[in-house]
Each structure stands twice: as structure tokens, then as C-alpha cells.
Amino acid sequence: MPGMTAQQRHVAFDWGGVFTVGTFDGRSTQNMADRSGVSVQRVRESYFRHVHQLEVGTWGLPQFWETLQGETGMSLPYHEFEPLYLGSIQDNSPMYATLEQLPRQVRVGLLSNNYPVVSDHLRRDPRFARFDALVFSNEIGYKKPTSEAFAALQQAMDLPAGQVAFVDDVQENIDAANAFGFQGLLYHHDQHPEFQATLREWLAL
């Protein structure tokens, strides 16, 4: 958009694969398998069969865990499972540094396909105070790449989509963001310096 100033350009991010290294689901299922002795393949078959229930908020995390135990034979009290699950988050430190360095006039949003308990955990993270808008699929009932999810992000940021870059590590979500009117930026943690240069260019910094 020619002539757009830094004050007019803003950014929103995905969480998993952007603020984390790799996928939270992959690491959490591996940790469950390691802790229980059940094969990771068996854990993942059950996990990915039901994770949509978490993503749209139909189930809470205790019900999800009870179902996984029943299908896989894993056995672990919920009060031990929850910290194991949350402990599967591996931060992508360079992205948190980028977040901290954004000028205050840049509004910052988050749109994440996320889960009960995990979204609460993230909200308590002091680093998330930098976000002006947090949109989690489990709280709105829609997940990316649906247009409803991107509409919720636009509403939460209170900005025209064309003034916001959306950062995600999944091409399907980038395509959906572009179709809605956002400026999609595909991310991979191995190419963070290149991404940071592209973001700075978008923000006209």
C-alpha cells in the first residue's frame, strides 16, 4: 500500500510454530508417549482424532485427557498430566525478542488455534502483555483457516485487515489470511532473520 506510514501498519501472529519451535502437538504427544510407555503412533492417532474438540472449545482438557487414556491405555492422574502438557511448550526466543522490539505505535494481535488451559497459561505469561488483542479458537468456536476466525481477529484488533500483516507457519492459513484481506507472511524459525527483515519492511521501520 503506497504511502502507508508505520503508524498505519500493524501485525498479528499465530502462536504454535511461530512463538514455539516446532509444533506443540508433536512435542506433547511425544512427551505423553515417553511418560506412559505407549507408542507415540498410538498416542497421536487418538490425540489428533479428538483435538478438534479442544480447538473449538467443545471439550475441556480433563475430558480430552480422559478420552485419550481410555483409547490408548495411558494412565496418569490429571494433576500430573496438565503440567506435562504445558511443559511441552518450547519457546522460540527470537520471536519473543522481535515482539518486545516492536514500536509501541504498532498494534499487535494473536490468532491461535488453541486449547483450554493452554490459552489461560499463555494469558498469564508477562510477555503476552505486549499483545493488544488475543483471539483463541477454543474461546470463539472457530479455528483457522475459516473466515470466521479471521473476522474475529479483525474485530478484536479494530483495524482494517489491509493494514495488518498476519504471520503463520502454515501455508493454508496464510492463503486464508490473504483471501480475507490481511497481508500474509509465512514463517519458519530457521529463517528468522529473513522474516524480521520482511516484517520491518512491512512496518516501514
Cα 123 to chain center, whole Å?
12
In Å, the largest CA–CA distance within the chain is 60
Residues 31 and 81 in one domain: yes
What is the structure's pLDDT at 65? Answer: 98
What is the structure's pLDDT at 1? Answer: 41
Fill in the DSSP letter of residue 136.
E
How many other C-beta atoms can be found within 10 angstroms of the C-beta atom of residue 53?
A: 16
The answer to whether the CB of 12 falls within 8 A of the CB of 133 is yes
What is the structure's pLDDT at 34? Answer: 97
What is the domain range of residue 139? 6-22+90-203
Taking only the tens of pLDDT, the chain with its 205 residues reads 444 444 589 999 999 999 999 889 999 999 999 999 999 999 999 999 999 999 999 999 999 999 999 999 999 999 999 999 999 999 999 999 999 999 999 999 999 999 999 999 999 999 999 999 999 999 999 999 999 999 999 999 999 999 999 999 999 999 999 999 999 999 999 999 999 999 999 999 7
Note the pTM of the prediction, 2 decimals: 0.93
CA dihedral 11, 194, 200, 103 (to 10 degrees): 70
Residues 42 and 104 in one domain: no
Asked whether residue 154 is assigned to any structural domain, the reply reads: yes
Residues 43 and 74 in one domain: yes
